[in-house]
Amino acid sequence: MSSDSSHNVSYLDYKGRWKGKITSWIFSTDHKKIGVLYLFSMLILFSIGVLFGFLMRLELIAPGKTIMEPQMYNSIFTLHGIIMIFMFIIPGLPAIFGNFFLPLLIGAKDVAFPRLNLLSWWLFMFGSLLAILSVFLPGGPVDTGWTFYVPYSVRSTTNVFPALIAAFILGFSSILTGLNFITTIHRMRVQGMTWFRMPLFVWSLYATSWIQILATPIIGITLLLVVMERAFNIGIFDPSLGGDPVLFQHLFWIYSHPAVYVMIIPAMGIISEIIPVFARRTIFGYKFIAFSSIAIALMGSLVWAHHMFTVGMSPTAMIIFSVLTFLVAIPSAIKVFNWVATLYKGSIQLDPPMLYALGFIFLFSIGGFTGLIQGALSVNIHIHDTSFIVAHFHYVMFGGTGFGIFAALHYWFPKMFAKSYNMKTAKFSFWTLFFGFNVLYFPMFVMGWLGMPRRYYDYLPEYHIYHFISTIGSWIVVIALVAMFANFIVALRKKEKFTEENPWGGETLEWKTSTPPPLENFDIEPVVDSHPYEYKMNEPDQDLLKEEGTK
């Protein structure tokens, strides 16, 4: 691959042995192209997920039937969960921005196993298409909730089987990506890039990858057991065959709780990249942020049963899981404090990536604090499985990871595509999204506390006002997302190239190569001789993107 012709060629133009426009993308082993493939496939899946969420909210705008039957509603919330969790939030940041930027950030030419990387994308697409296909197969779309709780998932006559297989395949994609990243980080750092000179996003990917490798096989096996339960009646989980449905919940959450940290840790990594750049100073407490990612990964693997406080566990188990749940909040708090401290005596510019980063801190904090509320045993008994939980995890997953993904997109978009987006539209969509988000999800805290259970097609009249406000919020969120995506699409269609190497004035290596990056990332191998955010206190050359916004 390192023939002379590949030098100085933008990765976007390099086709290798593939002549076609499409084949040169879908068979490329270039980590950057694979990252872009993931980006587009996931944004499509995300849009489908948003559509389902929008329809759910529309159904709930008033009590009784509004636009769909209960069976349809049950399938839609299930698919919303499966798509958003398995196909967007879990793999999102590592697969899109990890793929594209991990090698750049550590000065490598590619990931350790480029072909395995391409295979991961193919597996991802195969799993996703199978899940989408299951909607149209006879039997009807799966209606078990994304959690596939037994015995319901064994009894449901809908297409549970393809959905389980799809999730199983998606798991392999995650495992292979994790394996690839760990090897890349261990073996392919450029000279001078010691562990403590790695950008914090790399640390977060490292922690995440270990969880993916260690925990994903458990869900894979568990889902296969459900498949076997349905097919052969073996009686592991199904109580009517002598199985134990609570065992399923344990196995499910042993993976799915760490998976929550797979979702959030890389987003925290993104925030740790963005804040120093837009504050023009080094990060506060580098090692504490780096190690808190590892601490979250370790402790987060030991708190799964806090999803099951009402299931009937021993008091000992309850105490241990509650204590650990509270303790896992500490490393997250450390990160938040360090980010805020990084603003101290900075020189702060509120460009769109920074707005998303600060929005992340606020929304994630609310998500974290409401997590503490749920960690308290007596309170948990009341709010478990109510819309309070729904609000909490949307604050963490959407307000946290979602905003992290949007922050990354606004931050790296010019580097990835050599196109600049409109700053005013970007700021407009941020504020609209931020406002709409709170209108959409905050009422769910209130009605959850008042006793509104989750996954309800219909509700008692006393909850109407909260559902109504929430649905209005969903419209604002959709408007904001449309504005954001339209902004990017307009930017992509621009003829004018944006070739500024370092528009934001970043110090990490991805800003030290041309825009867009060449095929093997660096024409001259970079040299690393300091920490990742050592601002030498000089102003960036030019803020071209800023001018763009004032046009």
Partner 1 sequence: MFSNSNYIDSVDHAFIFIVAISFILLVFITGLMIYFVIKYSRKNNPKAENIHGNLKLEIFWTVVPVFLVMGMFYFGWVGYADLQNPPPESMKVKVVGQMWKWYFDYENGVRTDTLFVPINKPVKVEVTSIDVNHSFFVPAFRFKKDAIPNRINTAWFKPEELGSFDVACAEYCGLKHAYMYTEVVVMTEADFLAKMESELAKKNIPAPTEVKTDK
Closest CA to 423 of 262, 544, 255, 242: 544
Q: Measured from the CB atom, is 330 or 527 closer to partner 1? A: 330
Binding residue for partner 1 (CB under 8 A) from 217, 285, 526, 549? 285
How far apart are alpha carbons 480 and 50 in whole angstroms?
A: 12
Shortest reach from residue 464's CB to partner 1, in Å:
14
Secondary structure (3-state) at 294 = helix
Binding residue for partner 1 (CB under 8 A) from 348, 479, 483, 544? 348
- In the 8-state DSSP scheme, what is residue 310? T
Shortest reach from residue 378's CB to partner 1, in Å:
3
How far apart are alpha carbons 18 and 27 in whole angstroms?
A: 8
**How much is the CA Rg of the chain, to the nearest whole Å?**
23
Binding residues with partner 1: total (CB under 8 A): 90
Shortest reach from residue 377's CB to partner 1, in Å:
4
Shortest reach from residue 298's CB to partner 1, in Å:
16
Binding residue for partner 1 (CB under 8 A) from 115, 344, 495, 524? 344
Binding residue for partner 1 (CB under 8 A) from 259, 366, 440, 477? 366
10 φ/ψ angles, rounded to the nearest 5 degrees: -60, 140
Contact call for residue 66 and partner 1 (CB under 8 A): no
Binding residue for partner 1 (CB under 8 A) from 137, 234, 381, 527? 381
Are 245 and 237 in contact by the 8 Å Cβ rule? The answer is yes
Q: Measured from the CB atom, is 72 or 482 closer to partner 1? A: 72
Binding residue for partner 1 (CB under 8 A) from 10, 66, 365, 514? 365
| Helices 329-343, 286-299: inter-axial angle, 10-degree rounding | 160
Q: Measured from the CB atom, is 179 or 333 closer to partner 1? A: 333
Query: Which residues ranging from 289 to 318 are in contact with partner 1 (CB under 8 A)?
Result: 310-312, 315, 318
How far apart are alpha carbons 443 and 383 in whole angstroms?
A: 14
Binding residue for partner 1 (CB under 8 A) from 30, 59, 143, 548? 143
Contact call for residue 281 and partner 1 (CB under 8 A): yes
Contact call for residue 235 and partner 1 (CB under 8 A): no
Classify residue 242 as left (phi > 0), alpha (psi -120 to 50) or beta.
Answer: left
How far apart are alpha carbons 70 and 108 in whole angstroms?
A: 52
Q: Measured from the CB atom, is 85 or 418 closer to partner 1? A: 85
Are 167 and 209 in contact by the 8 Å Cβ rule? The answer is no
Shortest reach from residue 475's CB to partner 1, in Å:
23
- Where does 60-190 have alpha helices with state H? 70-82, 90-93, 99-105, 114-136, 152-155, 160-187
What is the residue type of 18?
Answer: W
Give every CB contact of residue 23 below 8 A, 6+ residues apart in sequence. Answer: none
Closest CA to 230 of 141, 137, 323, 163: 163
Tokens 């994903």 appear where?
216
Q: Measured from the CB atom, is 1 or 323 closer to partner 1? A: 323
Q: Measured from the CB atom, is 136 or 344 closer to partner 1? A: 344
Contact call for residue 505 and partner 1 (CB under 8 A): no
Query: Which residues ranging from 152 to 171 are in contact with partner 1 (CB under 8 A)?
Result: 152, 154-156
Contact call for residue 347 and partner 1 (CB under 8 A): yes
Contact call for residue 458 and partner 1 (CB under 8 A): yes
